[in-house]
């Protein structure tokens, strides 16, 4: 298992070791001991799965403290462009975003820490996304930011006016107006 930080403090890309032969393939998508050896000491308590068609954008979502969630996300079928935005005040990368293609072929996973808004768009005909959370869903702390916020300027890989978005996500506030209660604390 290869774990690497991807430019926004705490945001990690996880690439499992895959064993393939004529029968197919096998890999461990999660192993508590291997994650701990890489400094990722989390206890996951909830699994979520969604299926969406091409052009759907889900997000940008997060939960406020004290209910914020760490997410370990992967794609079971299809391909998505996954996006995380640093929303931690005082972070050197506050307001910056990172995107990565996740697919059933590349088998990459992204570990999204607390203090990040998260979303994805489907870039194949459909995609099934699976993610683990270290905290249970808390509807009262759910918040979000518009996926097409001009200040963030996220490149979704297609014209945003063609995105298929839920009514709820379409009514999310801008980056500046969104409620955030995360403070960056440098380690050490």
Rounded to the nearest 5°, which phi and psi values hold at 26? -145, 140
Taking the C-alpha atoms of residue 151 and residue 174, their distance in angstroms, rounded to an integer, is 8
Read off the DSSP letter of residue 141.
G
* 120 bridge partner residues: 58, 82
> Which of the residues 42, 118, 131, 137 is marked catalytic?
131
Would residue 25 show up in a list of annotated catalytic residues for this protein? no
* Residue 85 contacts residue 60 (beta carbons within 8 Å): yes
Alpha carbon distance, N-terminus to C-terminus of the chain: 26
61 is catalytic: yes
25, 30, 61, 118: the active-site residue: 61
Q: Which residues pair with residue 96 across a beta bridge?
A: none
Q: Which residues are catalytic?
A: 61, 131
């Amino acid at each position: 298992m290869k774990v690497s930080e991807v430019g926004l403090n705490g945001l990690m890309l996880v690439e499992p070791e895959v064993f393939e032969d004529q029968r197919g393939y096998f890999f461990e998508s999660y192993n508590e001991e291997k994650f701990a050896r890489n400094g990722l000491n989390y206890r996951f308590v909830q699994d979520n799965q969604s299926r969406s068609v091409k052009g759907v954008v889900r997000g940008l979502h997060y939960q406020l403290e004290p209910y914020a969630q760490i997410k370990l996300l992967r794609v079971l079928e299809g391909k998505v462009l996954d996006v995380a935005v640093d929303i931690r005040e005082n972070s050197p990368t506050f307001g910056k975003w990172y995107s990565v293609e996740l697919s059933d072929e590349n088998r990459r996973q992204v570990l999204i820490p607390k203090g990040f808004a998260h979303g994805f768009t489907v870039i194949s005909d459909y995609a099934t996304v699976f993610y683990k959370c270290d905290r249970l869903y808390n509807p009262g702390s759910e918040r979000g930011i518009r996926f097409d916020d001009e200040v963030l300027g996220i490149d979704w890989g297609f014209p945003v006016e063609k995105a298929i978005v839920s009514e709820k996500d379409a009514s999310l506030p801008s980056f500046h107006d969104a409620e955030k209660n995360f403070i960056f604390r440098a380690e050490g």
